[in-house]
Structure 1
Amino acid sequence: MPDGARPEPGGWNRIHLIVDDIAAEVERLQAAGVTFRNRIVTGPGGQQILVFDPAGNLVELFQPAAR
């Protein structure tokens, strides 16, 4: 992670939500003051970003790659 955090025992389990337009969701959530753990990461399967919910749990937003 950009902040130097590394996986610890128990892993980095998280809720995974599929979105249609990750850039639009990030913009909307940033405007609402949501804290993100990283920037959008792009890979062969799509794009993802991690966000903290109000209780500090990680939630992954995922936009699958176009087919």
Structure 2
Amino acid sequence: MDTFASVRYIVDDVPAASFFYTTHLGFILRSNPAPAFADVTLGPLRLLLSGPQSSGARATPDETAGPGRNRIHLIVDDLDTEIDRLQAAEVPFRSELTTGPGGRQILIADPAGNLVELFQPAT
């Protein structure tokens, strides 16, 4: 299994973004359920290009919209257990639990306010 560092970029036009990264920067297209989402890689970097129809784009609350909507994307095996653990540790949550076509996710914030997405893929 390949190991990637995943970063989600919210984009307005998934096909255009996918074309840009694969054509101009040498990324490899892994999956492309456009127009909602594309998954491109370059070495150990996995770039998740999420359009307005994707669940990733819906997970950002209005008060954090705009610059800074990008976040680290961490895959977890059991999102409910992680939510319980982090709530007990009083980690600040920045969204409600969201379910979309690719899975379930929630946003937390680091001490500086940077967003981290916890994501459990759909089975």
Q: Does 1:15 align with 2:72?
A: yes
Q: Which residue is equivalent to 2:86?
A: 29
Q: TM-score, normalised by structure 2?
A: 0.48
Q: Which residue is equivalent to 2:114?
A: 57
Alpha-carbon distance in structure 2 between the residues aligned to 1:53 and 1:6: 14
Alpha-carbon distance in structure 2 between the residues aligned to 1:54 and 1:6: 15
**Aligned partner of residue 59 in structure 1, secondary structure:** strand
Deviation at 1:55, TM superposition (A): 1.5
Which of structures 1 and 2 has the larger relative contact order (alpha carbons within 8 angstroms, sep 6+)?
A: 1
What stretches of structure 1 of length at least 5 have no aligned partner? none
Percent of matched pairs sharing the same residue: 63
Alpha-carbon distance in structure 1 between the residues aligned to 2:89 and 2:81: 13
Deviation at 1:54, TM superposition (A): 1.3
Larger radius of gyration: 2
Which of structure 1's runs of 4+ aligned residues deviate more than 6 A? none
Q: Does 1:48 align with 2:89?
A: no
Deviation at 1:38, TM superposition (A): 1.1
Residue by residue, what CA displacement relative to the aligned partner does 1:29-64 show, whole Å, maximum 9, x if unpaired? 000010001111001100000000112100000000
Go from structure 1 to structure 2 and tell me whether the alpha carbon gap of 1:45 and 1:55 turns closer, same or farther (over 3 Å shift).
Answer: same
Structure richer in strand, relative to its length: 2
- Count of residue pairs brought into register by the alignment: 63
Structure richer in helix, relative to its length: 2
Q: TM-score, normalised by structure 1?
A: 0.85
